[in-house]
């Protein structure tokens, strides 16, 4: 630690911190335009110049490290003159079109001009008059307003790892532009827009909708992925007009992805439900809440009395709050009297939790936001982290910049693969083989702590299992070059600080229980501890949903139930297992695999109840549809992948007659003659807070699951991998008009070699067929996928991709094995 004085204030800081950072951290403001806490110092704007005692010149506070005993002055007469001149120079060519600029009122140049600007300019020059670039779907560019601070260039290249824009030209001709001055075509994360201190870069969805001084701002938690970013929502007259990231708020510290910045307009979708509906003569008709709840109550009571509570099931949602999901399981277990409750987490997060309980003896394994930082080696298996969890993915890029070796093992060229130290093109679904090869190599080379590894249960079983996984066999099965495998494995096994990362979700079919199990085995074998395995939950409240007991075998907190209920597998994939199904916030007919089987099962239900914010594909087949309040229309809690509870706030009014999910269930309970004793949210949250979280026995075990090779035949020569795209998240984001401007149609990625071989043309359409069904989809020819591999995002209902997929390799181990789909 060092001591310095800034404007008479004594400050103690870590060595190496700049003067500007030291001042800002201690509530001393120094003017600046080009500095950003996420970026390396640039020193371009010269507004942060400061005086240092006994020094003959001025220093840029953003790049000057603070020194022990240093005395700094930030607001002297000399500094005010310097800043006034800098602002005066910036305004020579600036258009001064503040009345029509969206940045007016929060423009840093405007604020500096007000504070330091002169009444007249000593310099004359022509105003810039370049045409505005409005061709981009999300971001407008007006180079006339640009002050060349370079923040957008650096946040895009240095922080986001994209580099879509840069300085072009020299001197007076210098501008910031995409390559060859083309229209901006990038990830559309919008980081550059928030970083821009003036109005050179703007949000097209927000353009000319409101002035900054009439906006009301509220903080909330993003409803998309499980990182749980804080978003600052700007409202006018009760309508959300834009979303921003603020550098001092939340775990994201100002970072947002495109979904969090532009995709929150889904709440204003025309598809939103406004009133309850009941099916009459084959058509859904609007009814009152009393009619709808009585219809449901009569139907459920009739089924329960005649056929038993076990004939009723429910499915919760990772998009709904902790309170909503707690109330759903409470309703099912208390009012109905059954444990038949599950969710889409069954396809991913449940599999992960099953594996970590078996391997580590724990019930939950939160990730750490900064887990990648400071690691020697980071190994990512078949996971596009920058698409599924974009803000967390930035930590991987930051780690790489700071010296970590990033190894990507994936069949697709993901964003991380483009920045990796090594990218190994693996055959989809063979990660388990790669890991077993690593365990064998570690065993043969003695790269493990023998005494610790041998104490763990099933050691002999694991060693016997991996003996056949020689580098030659690994290379043969995974299609990775043997030398590349050995190099990557050795780099990881010999490092002193390392993590494994993989995602597992309903949308992804390239990983299953056995993949997670093998990763757990490797972690145990090397003695790295559970934290060396970083696997984030899928959606905003997947972690919270699981903690609330939305599963047939666990209660809230993780306690085992005496008589487990039916899983999704029994309720949706086996006919005549249930007669009534209550769906809360889920659309199985789009997001779940093997759609035809689900369609066949739910068509035979006596009572299908769908409670959602929109008329989903499943809701179109329902007997009763209930309108639920959406995110930002209700108070509640999300638990993110770090296990952190975060408050979700009501900032706008509900749509139509919609109600929070927990309130609907509470009203239904009373109509069915059983009060749950919860009259308000405070009482509900008090019950949730009293839940005791079960830790587990913490006993280490090797799972040693055998590898089962995915079937690929001559008739179905391709392997189809499904997943999420960077601009979308499940089907929720498809409701956003802004995001669909970027990416609005389904496609399938085909390797260039395969396209030539089969005569496929980019932009044309092809029929995909599996043993389950067929669909027609647009072709996108690319080298981002390996030969023999097809990749399809699963967001769009008009291309029923999940009609091709399946849930298991065989009926004996549902949801446990890799669910790759052979395709022709």
Distance, CA of 576 to CA of 583 (rounded, Å): 17
The pLDDT of residue 712 is: 64
pLDDT band at 59 (very low <50, low <70, confident <90, very high): very high
Assign domain 2-75 one CATH number from 3.90.660.10, 3.10.20.740, 3.40.190.80, 3.40.50.920: 3.10.20.740
Residue 409 near residue 493, CB atoms below 8 Å:
no
Distance, CA of 31 to CA of 45 (rounded, Å): 10
Structure tokens at 457: 């249960």
SS3 665: helix
The stretch 340-344 carries a mean pLDDT of 96
Q: For residue 669, what are the CA distances in angstroms to 136, 287, 565, 672, 698?
A: 50, 19, 20, 5, 38
The stretch 402-414 carries a mean pLDDT of 97
Check whether 812 has a pLDDT greater than 60.
Answer: no
Q: Which of 340, 339, 348 is nearest to 318 (CA)?
A: 348
pLDDT band at 236 (very low <50, low <70, confident <90, very high): very high
Give the position of tokens 């993989």. 502
The pLDDT of residue 818 is: 53
Topology agreement, domain 277-344+540-689 and domain 718-823: no
Q: For residue 368, what are the CA distances in angstroms to 230, 307, 733?
A: 17, 47, 26
Check whether 817 has a pLDDT greater than 60.
Answer: no
Sketch the domain layout of the chain as residue ranges: 2-75, 128-268, 277-344+540-689, 368-534, 718-823
Distance, CA of 431 to CA of 563 (rounded, Å): 35
Check whether 810 has a pLDDT greater than 60.
Answer: no
The stretch 589-597 carries a mean pLDDT of 89
The stretch 2-29 carries a mean pLDDT of 95
pLDDT tens figures, 578-589: 999 999 999 999
Residue 427 near residue 477, CB atoms below 8 Å:
yes
Residue bearing the bigger pLDDT, 116 or 461: 461
The stretch 118-137 carries a mean pLDDT of 83
DSSP 204-228: GGGTTS--GGG-EEEEEE-SSBTT-
The pLDDT of residue 528 is: 97
Q: Which of 665, 578, 575, 671 is nearest to 308 (CA)?
A: 578
The pLDDT of residue 172 is: 82
Residue 218 near residue 232, CB atoms below 8 Å:
yes
Structure tokens at 213: 């001084």
Distance, CA of 193 to CA of 480 (rounded, Å): 41
pTM, two decimals, is 0.95
Taking all residues of the chain, what is their mean pLDDT, rounded to a whole number?
94
Query: Which residues, other chains included, contact 611 with Cβ-Cβ below 8 Å and sequence gap of 6+?
Result: 582, 583, 584, 585, 625, 626, 628, 661, 664
CATH superfamily, region 368-534? Dimethylsulfoxide Reductase, domain 2 (3.40.228.10)
Structure tokens at 217: 């701002």
pLDDT tens figures, 678-731: 989 999 999 999 999 998 999 999 999 999 887 667 888 999 998 888 888 888
Find the range with the poorest average confidence among 195-209, 389-403, 809-823: 809-823
Check whether 814 has a pLDDT greater than 70.
Answer: no
- CA dihedral for 504, 510, 513, 515, sign (positive or negative): negative
Distance, CA of 156 to CA of 504 (rounded, Å): 28
Residue 624 near residue 279, CB atoms below 8 Å:
yes
Assign domain 718-823 one CATH number from 3.20.19.10, 2.160.10.10, 2.40.33.20, 2.40.40.20: 2.40.40.20
Distance, CA of 230 to CA of 222 (rounded, Å): 6
Distance, CA of 718 to CA of 777 (rounded, Å): 15
Find the range with the poorest average confidence among 116-125, 320-329, 369-378, 725-734: 116-125
DSSP 428-459: TT-HHHHHHHHHHHHHHHT-S-HHHHHHSBTH
pLDDT band at 123 (very low <50, low <70, confident <90, very high): confident
> What are the backbone angles phi and psi of residue 79, rounded to the nearest 5°?
-65, -35
Distance, CA of 178 to CA of 162 (rounded, Å): 11
* 128-268 is a CATH 3.40.50.11740 domain: no
pLDDT tens figures, 464-493: 999 999 999 999 999 999 999 999 999 999
Half-sphere exposure (Cβ direction) of 596: Cα atoms closer than 13 Å? 11
The stretch 639-653 carries a mean pLDDT of 98
pLDDT tens figures, 61-120: 999 999 999 999 999 999 999 999 999 999 998 998 999 999 999 999 999 999 987 777
Number of neighbouring beta carbons within 10 Å of residue 715? 9
pLDDT band at 808 (very low <50, low <70, confident <90, very high): low
- CA dihedral for 507, 508, 513, 519, sign (positive or negative): negative
Domain 277-344+540-689, architecture per CATH: 3-Layer(aba) Sandwich (3.40)
Distance, CA of 233 to CA of 237 (rounded, Å): 13
């Amino acid at each position: 630690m060092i001591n310095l004085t800034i404007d008479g204030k004594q400050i103690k800081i870590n060595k190496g911190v700049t003067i500007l950072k030291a001042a800002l951290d201690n509530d001393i403001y120094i003017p600046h335009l080009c500095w950003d806490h996420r970026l390396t110092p640039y020193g371009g704007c010269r507004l942060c110049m400061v005086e240092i005692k006994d020094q003959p010149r001025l220093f840029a506070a953003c790049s000057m490290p603070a020194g022990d005993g240093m005395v700094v002055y930030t607001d002297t007469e000399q500094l005010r003159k310097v800043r006034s001149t800098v602002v005066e120079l910036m305004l020579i060519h600036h258009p001064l079109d503040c009345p029509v600029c969206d940045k007016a009122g929060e423009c840093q140049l405007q604020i500096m001009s007000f504070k330091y600007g002169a009444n007249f300019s000593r310099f004359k020059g022509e105003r810039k008059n370049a045409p505005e670039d409005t061709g981009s779907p999300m971001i407008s560019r007006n180079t006339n307003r640009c002050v060349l601070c370079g923040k957008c260039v650096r946040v895009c290249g240095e922080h986001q790892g994209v580099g879509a824009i840069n300085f072009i030209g020299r001197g007076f001709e210098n501008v910031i532009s995409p390559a060859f001055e083309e229209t901006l075509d990038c990830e559309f994360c919008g980081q550059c827009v928030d970083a821009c201190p003036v109005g050179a870069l703007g949000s097209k969805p927000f353009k000319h909708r409101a002035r900054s001084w009439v906006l009301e701002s509220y903080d909330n938690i993003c409803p998309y992925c499980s990182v749980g970013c804080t978003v600052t929502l700007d409202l006018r007259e009760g309508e959300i007009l834009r979303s921003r990231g603020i550098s001092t708020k939340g775990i994201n510290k100002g970072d947002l992805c495109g979904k969090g910045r532009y995709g929150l307009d889904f709440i204003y979708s025309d598809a939103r439900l406004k009133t309850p509906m009941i099916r009459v003569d084959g058509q859904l008709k609007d009814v009152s809440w009393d009619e709808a709840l009585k219809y449901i109550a009569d139907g459920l009571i009739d089924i329960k009395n005649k056929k038993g509570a076990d004939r009723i099931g429910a499915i919760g949602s990772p998009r709904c709050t902790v309170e909503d999901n707690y109330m759903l399981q409470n309703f099912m277990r208390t009012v109905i009297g059954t444990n038949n409750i599950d969710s889409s987490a069954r396809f991913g997060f449940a599999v992960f939790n099953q594996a970590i309980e078996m391997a580590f003896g724990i019930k939950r394994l939160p990730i750490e936001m900064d887990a990648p930082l400071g690691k020697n080696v980071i190994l990512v298996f078949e996971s596009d982290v920058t698409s599924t969890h974009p803000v967390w993915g930035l930590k991987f890029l930051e780690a790489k910049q700071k010296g970590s070796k990033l190894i990507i093992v994936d069949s697709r060229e993901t964003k991380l693969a483009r920045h990796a130290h090594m990218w190994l093109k693996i055959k989809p679904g063979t990660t388990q083989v790669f890991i077993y090869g690593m365990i064998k190599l570690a065993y043969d080379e003695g790269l493990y702590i023998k005494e610790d590894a041998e104490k763990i249960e099933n050691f002999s079983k694991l060693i016997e299992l991996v003996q056949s996984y020689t580098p030659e066999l690994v290379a043969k099965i995974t299609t990775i070059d043997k030398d590349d495998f050995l190099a990557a494995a050795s780099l990881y096994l010999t490092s002193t600080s390392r993590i494994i990362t993989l995602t597992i979700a309903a949308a992804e079919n390239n990983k299953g229980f056995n993949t997670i199990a093998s990763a757990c085995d490797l972690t145990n074998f090397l003695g790295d501890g559970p934290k060396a395995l970083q696997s984030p939950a899928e959606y905003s409240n997947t972690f919270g949903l699981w903690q609330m007991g939305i599963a047939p075998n666990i209660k809230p907190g993780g306690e085992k139930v005496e008589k487990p209920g039916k899983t999704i597998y029994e309720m949706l994939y086996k006919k005549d297992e249930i007669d009534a199904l209550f769906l809360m916030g889920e659309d199985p007919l789009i997001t779940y695999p093997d759609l035809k089987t689900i369609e066949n099962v739910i068509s035979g239900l006596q009572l299908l109840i769908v409670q959602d914010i929109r008329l989903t594909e499943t809701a179109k087949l329902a007997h009763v549809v209930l309108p639920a309040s959406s995110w930002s229309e209700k108070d509640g809690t999300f638990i993110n992948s770090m296990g952190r509870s975060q408050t979700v706030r009501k900032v706008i009014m509900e749509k139509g007659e919609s109600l929070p999910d927990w309130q609907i269930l509470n009203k239904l309970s009373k109509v069915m003659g059983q009060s749950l004793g919860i009259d308000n949210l405070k009482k509900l949250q008090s019950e949730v807070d009293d839940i005791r979280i079960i830790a587990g026995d913490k006993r280490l075990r090797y799972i040693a699951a055998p590898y089962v090779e995915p079937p690929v035949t001559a008739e179905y020569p391709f392997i189809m991998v499904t997943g999420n795209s960077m601009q979308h998240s499940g089907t929720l984001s498809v409701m956003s008009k802004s995001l669909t401007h970027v990416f609005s149609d389904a496609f399938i990625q085909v390797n260039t070699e395969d396209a030539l071989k089969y005569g496929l043309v980019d932009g044309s359409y092809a029929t995909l067929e599996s043993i389950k069904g067929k669909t027609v989809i647009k072709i996108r020819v690319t080298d981002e996928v390996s030969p023999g591999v097809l990749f399809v995002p699963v967001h769009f209902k008009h291309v029923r991709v999940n009609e091709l997929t399946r849930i298991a390799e065989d009926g004996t181990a549902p949801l446990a094995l890799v669910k790759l789909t052979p395709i022709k």
